[in-house]
Structure 1
Amino acid sequence: MESSWLETRWARPLHLAFVFCLALGLLQAIKLYLRRQRLLRDLRPFPAPPTHWFLGHQKFLQEDRMEKLDEIVEKYPCAFPCWVGPFQAFFYIYDPDCAKIFLNRTDLKTQYLHKFMTPCLGKGLLNLDGPRWFQHRCLLMPGFHCDSLKTCVEPMAHSVNMMLDKWEKICSAQEATVEVFEHINLMALDIIMKCAFGQETNCQINGTYEPYVKATFELDKIVSSRLYNFWNHHDIIFKFSPNGHRFQELGKVLHQYAEKVIQDRKKFLKARMEQDDTQKYQNLLDIILSAQAENEGSFSEADLQSEVNTIMWAGHDASAASLSWLLYCLALNPEHQDRCRTEIRSILGNGSSITWDQLGEMSYITMCIKEMLRLIPPVPSISRELNKPLTLPDGRSLPAGMTVVLSIWGLHHNPAVWKNPKVFDPLRFTKENSDQRHPCAFLPFSTGSRNCIGQQLAMLELKVAMALILLRFQVAPDLTRPPAFSSHTVLKPKHGIHLHLKKLPEC
């Protein structure tokens, strides 16, 4: 039976569309095949752990990767390629000489992590490159100057004491076991809201910021999961996945809170101006708003919200993780905890007040903080995409376009760099030992022009918090519930940190 005219008319376009799609699919397959062959050729000089032909090292990246990374660092000195699926590889380095060469270059931030975070944070200091990054960095720097940080000591102490008052109620007259990370997370958020934005949130008492805290934790988990799952690297696939829909919802939560912070501060400053209040308000947000008013064309509302988003998230997230891990390290090492407490008592007495100058005298607690940052770096890696070939100290080379990951965890745990790297030993950071060490052996805040802008604020917060905690409490680990590392961009305790808290008698 012959085909009708209508069937013939429709069949030809469908056949052409089918052939066109088939040709596109074939071209894409050839492109991916050539990409894989090129990566195999470029990475042939570098030995790597056993890999699955299709999944690569995905299992290692998603499950207990910190513990596994220690084994790899010992077995493969300096560096190794890490496959994320069959067509993408990240090149991990953890040698000080390699780190020095890598950090002295001007490569752009990798497209993966920062592209994935942009929808929820916007294009702030964390995600920018080039002249716009430099402009934002220069604008924000005055907010992290010593003169600005000195005014943060009192509100920090107030927030820490608020948390400790809660702990006293929990402990009452006897020792109690407390999951401290949740409390510390809220306290760190309270501090950044006061110091950076001039906001009294009372978030440690009421639940107004609970949705924000939950959103940041879940978003961090989704971004990390997407980074190490090659299927989700494609925007369209991720968008229609369960995580993609949830990611959009959580991003809206962050933007709403950031917008509220901005509008509240604008209203506050406007009211002060109407009252002819001559008092100078110069927290970080005030500095940004002032600069925006002077340069309306070069710093938009979107830029403003991106920076507030970034500071809110990064400013409390890494600090909360750092303080939690520091408290856990001192709980595991009571001899160092006692020595810190003795130093703090000799400087602060009963702790009724704490000043900027007193914090500068805390040499042993500073060494303990640095040793915690070495042993458990809150930000375990930084990454760049090579804009030109990179030659390593041994002569081997990587081509342009390769994603290179500087593993700060691997660097800090490298037995070729640190003796007994898994042992908590603050004396590594005496002046004599520090002077003898490679300048790129210890990089918790990175180094160079793109180092962490908030590192002095973070150190200040850690000193204030730890000094006040150790004055009022003795801490010991709950050995029945050891913490585990989460697979997040910031190393957090997966199930919290459970500690025995014992209230100390007042001096």
Structure 2
Amino acid sequence: MQCTEEGLLQVDDLVQRYTHSCSWFLGPFYHLVRLFHPDYVKPLLMAPASITVKDELIYGHLRPWLGQSLLLCNGEEWSRRRRLLTPAFHFDILKNYVTKFNTSTNIMHDKWRHLVAKGTTNVEMFDHVTLMTLDSLLKCAFSYNSNCQWSASEYVSALVELSDLIIDRRQKILHHWDWFYWKTQQGKQFRKALNVVHRYMCDNNDEDGQGLTDEEIQAEANTFMFAGHDTTASAICWTLYNLARHGHYQEQCRQEVMDLMQGRDRHEIEWEDLSNLPFTTMCIRESLRLHSPVQAVTRKYTQDIALPEDRTVPKGAISLVSIYGTHHNPAVWTNPHEFHPLRFDPTNTAGRASHAFIPFSSGPRNCIGQKFALAELRVVVALTLLRFRLTLGVNPQLGSRSGGVRRLPQLVLRAEGGLWLQLERSD
């Protein structure tokens, strides 16, 4: 579904129509409940992991790629995986990644300086930022310098192709059946791209039998690359877009970063700096609300789940938690389509429902990498604003400034025809 920035009528009407809470679809093959309000979302996301199941209708197409990874497994298997992987996202580990975030961002900015010097100032953000987050993630997860920002990469091309093929498969009902799909041209392309991606993954594990097996490591490595680069790239692009649209907020962020860098010989963001960027962080959070990279998550439950107003989600029904609907619900947010970072000023958050803002989901099965993503977001946005001024660019496909951008919800939120910004050096 594509939605214009100005109207977004189809989605917004849906939020309004169901009194800002939920809607029900009772079909012949499955039951679907869609939820748009924090009071209805909370019981589902906070339900124990032991009764929470990832449904095959939405997530099944990812299984050939991601296997029985943390994203897709359930029950005791999920608990074991989560317990083993959580230490990898401890603050002490994340501190070491900040240097790598700086390094990958510097490479991207060198490319931008080169383009500007040649007279190219109108730049499509997703192309550049996605390569940067891939480069950064490969450095952090595998200590692997891919050089993918400068040179064509078979692995990067395969990742992009897999994502596109999954979206294509979801839209073709006959392709939902494996026995049919693997015989099609698209299925054969998927297998070919999958072989490329799997060749790049780590294959070492603990030898005491208590850690992850080789197969489990491969599944988690694939999941980390899939979930860790595209979502973060989307969040960075939309944050830069929102700041390009609102120059006064952009200048306020830039001044905050310049003040932080005062007196330093090297302009790099350090771990300790992340907590000293309060306004920039507010802008990032507001962008995550307005343009959440993941638009919805789905769940199934092995028992009935009680909701407010004596409603019940029946056992086995697919529950679609609309992150978009919750973040744009007029019963929760005043003027929900406006970019207003001060919503996230600590003085303005008192009394807000705990599940009004859920860009990383919530509860036991929330995003394990959210601290990693937020750290990278702050580093990339801060360094970008320190070195460049951003204004809306011209989308060649639409022939207009990017203020008229069309959202393109795929595996993550992208923009139809790309997200084009105009770059001007400020360093």
Q: TM exceeds 0.5?
A: yes
Residue 70 of structure 1: aligned partner:
12
Shift in Å at residue 303 of structure 1? 0.5
Q: Percent identity?
A: 36
Query: Contact 1:110/1:385 (CA < 8 Å) preserved in 2?
Result: yes
186 and 344 in structure 1: CA distance in 2 versus 1, 3 angstrom threshold: same
- What runs of 5+ residues in structure 1 fail to find an aligned partner? 1-61, 267-288
Alpha-carbon distance between aligned partners in 1 of 2:104 and 2:199, rounded to the nearest angstrom: 24
1:495 Cα offset (Å): 2.1
> Hey, what does 2:128 align to over in structure 1?
183
Aligned to 1:21: none
Give 1:95's match in structure 2, choosing from 32, 37, 42: 37
Is the 1:486–1:494 contact (alpha carbons within 8 Å) kept by the matching residues of 2?
Answer: yes
> Match for 2:416: what amino acid?
K
Match of 2:212 among 290, 296, 299: 299
Amino acid at match of 1:399: P
- Match in the other structure for 2:366: 451
1:221 counterpart = 2:164: yes
Between the aligned partners of 1:230 and 1:441, the Cα distance in structure 2 is: 34
* Change in 2 beyond 3 A, CA 1:499/1:162: same
d(CA) in 1 for partners of 2:59, 2:103? 34
**CA offset digits 1:76-100 (Å, max 9, x no partner):** 22112358x8634432111111111
| 1:244-393 matched pairs, under 5 angstroms | 244-258=187-201, 262=202, 289=205, 292-295=206-209, 299-349=212-262, 352-393=267-308
1:213 positional shift: 2.5
1:463 aligns with 2:378: yes
Change (3 A) 1:486 1:82: farther
Q: Report which of the two structures shows the higher radius of gyration computed on alpha carbons.
A: 1
Change (3 A) 1:79 1:226: farther
Query: For residue 419 of structure 2, what is the aligned residue in structure 1?
Result: 497
Separation in 2, partners of 1:378, 1:111: 21
> Which residue in 2 is equivalent to 1:14?
none
- DSSP-derived class of the 2:391 partner: strand
Which among 134, 139, 160 is matched to residue 79 of structure 2? 134
| CA displacement 1:237-293 (0-9 Å, x = unmatched) | 3333443232222222221222xxx26xx6xxxxxxxxxxxxxxxxxxxxxx4xx22
Change (3 A) 1:244 1:481: farther
Bigger relative contact order (CA 8 A; separation at least 6)? 2
3-state SS of 2:326 partner: helix
User: Matched residue of 1:397: which SS?
Assistant: strand
For 1:81, what is the secondary structure of its paired residue?
strand
Q: Going by fraction, where is strand more abundant, 1 or 2?
A: 2
One of 318, 338, 341 as aligned partner of 1:423 = 338
For the residues of structure 2 that align with 1:399 and 1:456, how far apart are their CA atoms?
33
Instruction: Provide the C-alpha distance between the structure 2 equivalents of 1:442 and 1:151, rounded to a whole number of angstroms.
Output: 28
Which amino acid counterpart does residue 86 of structure 2 have in structure 1?
A: M
1:103-252 maps to which residues of 2 (within 5 A)? 103-105=45-47, 106-172=51-117, 176-207=121-152, 209=153, 211-252=154-195
**Is this contact kept in 2: 1:344–1:471, CA < 8 A?**
yes
In structure 2, give the amino acid aligned to 1:246.
Q
Aligned residues of 1:175 and 1:500 also touching (Cα < 8 A): no
Measure how far apart 1:204 and its partner are. 1.0
Cα distance in 2 between the residues matched to 1:426 and 1:181: 23
- Cα distance in 1 for residues equivalent to 2:61 and 2:196: 17
Larger helix percent: 1
Give the conservation status (yes or no) of the 8 Å contact 2:285–2:341: yes
2:397 equivalent in structure 1? none
Extract unaligned runs of 5+ from structure 2: 395-399
Given the superposition, is the C-alpha separation of residues 80 and 202 from structure 1 closer, same or farther in structure 2, using an over 3 Å criterion?
Answer: same
Matched-pair contact (CA < 8 Å) for 2:65–2:194: yes
How far does residue 344 in structure 1 lie from its aligned partner after superposition? Answer: 0.5
Alpha-carbon deviation of 1:191?
0.7
Instruction: Give me the TM-score of the superposition, normalised by structure 1.
Output: 0.77
Q: Quickly say closer, same or farther: Cα 1:325–1:82, change in 2 above 3 A.
A: farther
* AA of the residue aligned to 1:393: P
- TM-score between the two structures when normalised by the length of structure 2: 0.91
> How many matched pairs?
411
SS of match in other structure, 1:476: strand
CA 175–228 in structure 1, closer or farther in 2 if over 3 Å, else same: closer
